[in-house]
Amino acid sequence: MARKLPHKDVAIIGLGWTGSILANELTDAGLDVVAIERGPWRDTATDFAISYAQDELRYRIRHELFLRNSQMSVTFRNNAGQTALPVRTWGAFMLGNGVGGAGVHWNAETWRFLPTDFTLKSHLTQRYGANFLPADMTIQDWGITWNEIEPYYDEFEYLCGTSGQAGNLSGELQSGGNPFEGPRSRPYPTPPQKQGYGHTLFAQGAAKLGYKPFPQPSGNLSRAYTNPLGVTLAPCTYCGFCEWFGCANNSKATPQTTVLPALLRKTNFEARTECEVTRINLDNTGKRATGVTFVDSSGEEYEQPADIVLLCAFSLFNVQLLLLSGIGAAYDPATGQGQIGRNFTHQTMSSALGFFDKDKYNFNPFVASGAIGMIIDEFNGDNFDHGPVGFVGGGYIGQVQTNGRPIESTAVPPGTPAWGSKWKAAIKDNYLSTINSGGACHGSMYSYRDNYLSLDPTYKDRFGRPLVRITIDFHDNEIKMSNFLTDKYAEILQAMGAKQIVKKPRKAPYDVTQYQTSHLNGGAIMGDNPGNSAVNRYLQSWDVANLFVVGASAFPQNAGYNPTGTVGALAFWAADAIRSQYLKNPGPLVHA
Amino acid sequence: MYQLTRRGLLGSSALWLLLSSSAARAAVIRGGIPWKPGAGDPPEPVTPGGWKYFTPQEAKTVEAFVDRLIPADDLSPGGRECGCAVFIDRQLAGPYGDFGGYYLAGPFVKGTKQQGPQSPVTPAQHYRKALAALDGACRSKYGGKAFAELTDAQKDEVITGLENGSLKLDGADGQEFFKLILKNTQNGYLADPIYGGNKDMASWKMIGFPGAHYDYREWIDKHNQRVTMPAVGIANHPNWSQKS
């Protein structure tokens, strides 16, 4: 029998970026908030101490800061004709765990989507005609516009202290910034990070070819910054152990360095760690959440009653909990019915290796941050005419090499033996003079009828509940796009003076063993009516009015950018809707 | 809709695992950032001497193998001297050897390449089986000699045969074993020396990686210049102290 806990105004599932932002906003509004986090408490001084944070084996190869598959995993198949099998250890994506969530180990590339990304279906149909889109592509408009979300992008960037160069201030293009970005109301809170030799050479090569390079917006700060909550971050020291790692320097924007010190002081906030929410409880109408049930690390079960439930777990697990709790209808690709699980997307990543003359070039790859880099955005979104190329979508292209960590930095020219003295000589000769930017072509992935999430019929978690099952493959559209972006990147490497270039475009089928960012999205998408989405424009569940489902699970499709900026903006946007509308008048905020 | 039953909770105890090393931390946190002295979790340094997983014969084979994967030459000492076999031994004796953190519920079904590894055979078990089979294959092919007794040229022949699949092992997949031992050897060669390999940061000095330096601010603007900081590992760093 579950032990019933005292009532709270708000129960938040997960204490990562969205959980932290919403907890802070709602405690400010005077509500009593509890956040329930499956993983442990994490802190800079204990978990990413400066004396042992730079440990590639422990954190990058053995993934010690990540969710252990033994605690929770997923199953995967390329299509419904296959049997999904467990992801026994992470590969294509690595999932966070603990307080701070993926916000602890991200590389802090902090982007906004394009204005047209939010009205993608209407825009592409208008420009190219409905027949230009593949018949099984299921992209949608988000139900919000750039003008509506822009102030919330601003709010997230000022929370983080994001370092960047504005490209468009209220419609006026600014030199040195991204000429394609949507108009922003004010500059970034801190100036861009400094760039290394390889990144600078890329910008020179790109400019030679007529592009407009600009520095990547970075949550690894260029200088010390105190945010509106009074929390201070330090300047980044270009240590080269950013993504996969916690920052020992307090210079990476994370919930730990931006929100938690302020949040934890509040008497109306409580966090329960190493407690896993197993179910969102509903009343007998099925339309109202009464709270959540969770299990602590000793196996004891609790019921936490609450008036508002915020589902703030990682995107995949938001969808899993909706399905396990019987909220909404599960998506069936055969009929197209059901919203929960639909429009699952990842990212379409590609790169190329650039080998340079070792006697002329020394890139010092280990001097870098997670979000360092020079970028061109000419081939993102609908920033160029797709008519002649026969695909839609795109991505930023950049020299975004984040590190020279040795185990990961053994790229050698094709034909080099995999072992022996020749291998040793090749890694020595190429280590300092190779451009090896894994995230160079950051391509979009649009949504399709047959890429979706569901519950696995066979494999269970440690509580006996079904794992979430991923069914995903690449479609021709994304493969064409990847080839295109990779070719453009290779041209820039050529202009930089590379002596040998090895192109690595993305190839089908989707492989769950090859890392492609952890940008998993969709499955509980936002939209303008319950017939096409799981949540409304405020991320409120259409089915359960006192439940909000916040995160990248809301993206109807993925864009050619890292998602966290948009995830942060949506969290602030939802918080504002709850504070200014829902609390005054609880109930559905949108009547469709 | 799934109702969690007490049976469901305890029935899957086979998968029950310590969630983290932070058992001492409070589960309910309020009123401030939790802190207690000595709560850090530095890595445990590997001390060489003896074998924790390998039998003496297995250790001999592995030392011989890593010394061909990474031969001694002007660029660096060989894999054995660099401690790669010690590294692998300690890794196999620890959670890595036993699929620590892996999802281990069945059924175990072989899937497509894209679905990733589905074998229940742990790295430690894999080495045990493959090393025995390797010696068996060598004795057949080279007149009764085990791998460690072959000439360097013969060892290289054997390794090449595993790599390209032409040399079969009885009861083990030679190509999969080659990939595993190659990965583990190179990891040991390039990882921080605290784990038993990369002795004296030999590989880092060879390639030009300065190691565990946290502050490169003076170097970010020095384009195309060689960083002159001497290489340092976690345990050589002035900030390092072992947990008592």
Please report, for chain A, the start and end positions of each structural domain, with discontinuous segments joined by +.
1-50+92-127+138-163+217-347+518-592
Tokens of B28: 């309910």
CA–CA separation, B222 vs A197, rounded Å?
8
The CATH fold assigned to A1-50+92-127+138-163+217-347+518-592 is FAD/NAD(P)-binding domain (3.50.50)
pLDDT of residue B236: 79
CA–CA separation, B211 vs A55, rounded Å?
10
Does any domain span residue B233? Answer: no
A349 in Cβ contact with A443 (< 8 Å):
yes
Q: Which residues are CB-contacts of A137 (< 8 A; sequence separation ≥ 6)?
A: A392, A446, A447, A448, A475, A477
CA–CA separation, A153 vs B87, rounded Å?
47
CA–CA separation, A42 vs A313, rounded Å?
16
**H-helix segments, chain B:** 6-11, 56-69, 84-93, 123-141, 152-164, 174-190, 202-207
Of A62, A73, A425, the CB nearest to B75: A425
pLDDT of residue B35: 84
pLDDT of residue B36: 84
Helix axes of B56-69 and B123-141: crossing angle, nearest 10 degrees: 80
Q: Which of A564, A565, A563, A589 is nearest to A576 (CA)?
A: A589
Task: Reply yes or no on whether the pLDDT at B22 is more than 90.
Answer: no
Domain that holds residue B172: 56-100+116-207
Q: Of B4, B13, B66, B243, which to mutate for an interface test with A (greatest number of A Cβ within 10 Å)?
A: B4
Across-strand partners of A479?
none
Q: Give the other-Cβ count within 10 Å of A349's Cβ.
A: 23
Question: Nearest 5 degrees, angle CA A8-CA A9-CA A13?
Answer: 75
Does any domain span residue B124? Answer: yes
pLDDT of residue B48: 85
CA–CA separation, B133 vs B117, rounded Å?
21
For residues B163-171, average pLDDT: 97
Task: Reply yes or no on whether the pLDDT at B25 is more than 90.
Answer: no
A397-451 pLDDT tens trace: 999 999 999 999 999 999 999 999 999 999 999 999 999 999 999 999 999 999 9
Quick check: B19 and A40 CB within 8 A?
yes
pLDDT of residue A308: 98
Positive or negative, the Cα torsion across A250, A253, A254, A257?
A: positive
* Residue with tokens 């031969």, as numbered in its chain: B71
Is the model more confident about B238 or about A540? Answer: A540
For residues B193-206, average pLDDT: 97
CA–CA separation, A67 vs A98, rounded Å?
8
Per DSSP, chain B holds a count of helices (H) and strands (E) of 7, 1
* Chain B residues touching A510 at Cβ < 8 A: 114
Nearest chain B Cα to A263, which residue?
Answer: B32
Task: Reply yes or no on whether the pLDDT at B18 is more than 60.
Answer: no
Does any domain span residue B193? Answer: yes
- The two most distant CA atoms of chain B are separated, in Å, by 73
A346 in Cβ contact with A93 (< 8 Å):
yes
Tokens of A180: 């394609």
* Residue with tokens 């209407």, as numbered in its chain: A122
CA–CA separation, A498 vs A434, rounded Å?
9
Does any domain span residue B190? Answer: yes
Quick check: B209 and A87 CB within 8 A?
no
Q: What single DSSP character describes residue A523?
A: S
Q: Give the other-Cβ count within 10 Å of B237's Cβ.
A: 17
Q: Of A3, A42, A64, A85, which to mutate for an interface test with B (greatest number of B Cβ within 10 Å)?
A: A85
Does any domain span residue B36? Answer: no
Q: Nearest CA of chain A to the CA of B37: how many Å?
A: 9
Helix axes of B152-164 and B123-141: crossing angle, nearest 10 degrees: 120
Q: What is chain A's alpha carbon radius of gyration, rounded to the nearest angstrom? A: 23
Does any domain span residue B163? Answer: yes
pLDDT < 70 regions, chain A: none
Tokens of A558: 């993925």
Q: Which residues are CB-contacts of A232 (< 8 A; sequence separation ≥ 6)?
A: A224, A225, A226, A250
DSSP A373-386: -EEE-TTSTTSS--
Q: Which residues are CB-contacts of A66 (< 8 A; sequence separation ≥ 6)?
A: A90, A94, A95, A96, A97, A105
Left (φ > 0), alpha (ψ -120 to 50) or beta: where does A537 sit?
alpha
Q: Of A46, A56, A465, which to mutate for an interface test with B (greatest number of B Cβ within 10 Å)?
A: A46
pLDDT of residue B128: 98
* Chain A residues touching B215 at Cβ < 8 A: 237, 239
pTM, to two decimals: 0.96
Tokens of A234: 């330090």
For residues B117-127, average pLDDT: 97
A504-533 pLDDT tens trace: 999 999 999 999 999 999 999 999 999 999
DSSP A408-474: G-----TT--SSSHHHHHHHHHHSSSEEE-TTSEEE-B--BTT-EEEEEEEEE-TTSPEEEEEE---
Q: How many domains does chain B have?
A: 1
pLDDT of residue B239: 63
Quick check: A235 and B217 CB within 8 A?
yes
Does any domain span residue B66? Answer: yes
Amino acid at A542: W
pLDDT of residue A1: 79
pLDDT-based confidence at residue B12 (cuts at 50, 70, 90): very low
* Residue with tokens 């509500």, as numbered in its chain: A31
Q: What single DSSP character describes residue B148?
A: G
* Chain A residues touching B5 at Cβ < 8 A: 464
Quick check: B30 and A267 CB within 8 A?
yes
CA–CA separation, A544 vs A263, rounded Å?
27
Q: Which of A469, A450, A458 is nearest to A320 (CA)?
A: A469
Positive or negative, the Cα torsion across A589, A590, A591, B2?
A: negative
ipTM beyond cut 0.90: yes
Q: What are phi and psi of B169, to 5 degrees?
A: -110, 140
Q: What is the dihedral of CA A450, A93, A445, A352, to 10 degrees?
A: -130
A113-124 pLDDT tens trace: 999 999 999 999
CA–CA separation, A249 vs A240, rounded Å?
12
The SS3 call for residue B169 is: strand
